[in-house]
Structure 1
């Protein structure tokens, strides 16, 4: 069995709220934490010219998060985005954008968050557990 991802209920609430706020556009952002624990979902602007069907993270947000991590801040564990069409699994475009870097992807659809690992062989579902103390 694969790794279990630890996620706070606050992170999940943020993901769902961001998806609802962005609808009918896709929201997107960064998943920050350490090791297998996601501590924070950090929203980023979706700068894709067709945000109703695609997402592209604001490069400035990505650069700032990398700088913060190098300065001792939270690591970039992965990314999130929403699927306004209600399909919670990776889309063909998600598969085309994937790099196989083993980062976590969260996909929000219809108030549900699905979790995926970006593996060299394609997306694999992740098991999650609440990390609230």
Structure 2
């Protein structure tokens, strides 16, 4: 499967991720199941942000409330791996609900995209998405 992502989204996520290192950065993705057009940074409220991420619930609830009122739909989530590996970890898979949402992982100079599904190819939870950049 393929996913279209705005170039400015990837540039922004990469810049925030680099600035947050050695902590993991995280946030929300907006758009549709096959196209990401916007993003948002969220505070990482994990107890160990150097190796885990947890999106600030206030940010998530605010975005959900806005979505229900006609705001931009939440298409998924993004986070960084300061280790440089842009592949979802087994911990990421354990956290992911198989709801079809997109998970973007930034590591080093690379960003990869995945869909959270039942019986995914990676860790039984994620299927890889090829990324097409759009302006």
Which interval holds the TM-score relative to the shorter structure?
Answer: over 0.9
Question: Does residue 131 of structure 1 match 2:134?
Answer: yes
Q: Assess if the C-alpha contact under 8 Å between 2:33 and 2:101 holds in 1.
A: no
- Aligned CA-pair RMSD: 0.9
Q: 1:1-133 to 2 correspondence within 5 Å?
A: 2=1, 4-121=2-119, 122-132=125-135
Residue segments in structure 1 that go unaligned for 5+ positions in a row? none
Q: Assess if the C-alpha contact under 8 Å between 1:24 and 1:84 holds in 2.
A: yes
Deviation at 1:34, TM superposition (A): 3.1
Q: Assess if the C-alpha contact under 8 Å between 1:37 and 1:131 holds in 2.
A: no
Moved >4 Å (runs of 4+): none
Residue segments in structure 2 that go unaligned for 5+ positions in a row? 120-124
Under a length normalisation based on structure 1, what TM-score does the superposition of the two structures give? 0.94
Under a length normalisation based on structure 2, what TM-score does the superposition of the two structures give? 0.92
SS in 2 for 1:55: coil
Task: Tell me how many residue pairs correspond in the alignment.
Answer: 130
SS in 2 for 1:24: coil
Deviation at 1:52, TM superposition (A): 0.3
Q: Assess if the C-alpha contact under 8 Å between 1:34 and 1:74 holds in 2.
A: no
Superimposed CA distance per residue, residues 54-113 of structure 1 (whole angstroms, 9 cap, x where no aligned partner): 000000000010111111111000000000111111111001111111100000000210
Instruction: Name whichever of 68-77 and 53-62 sits farther off.
Output: 68-77
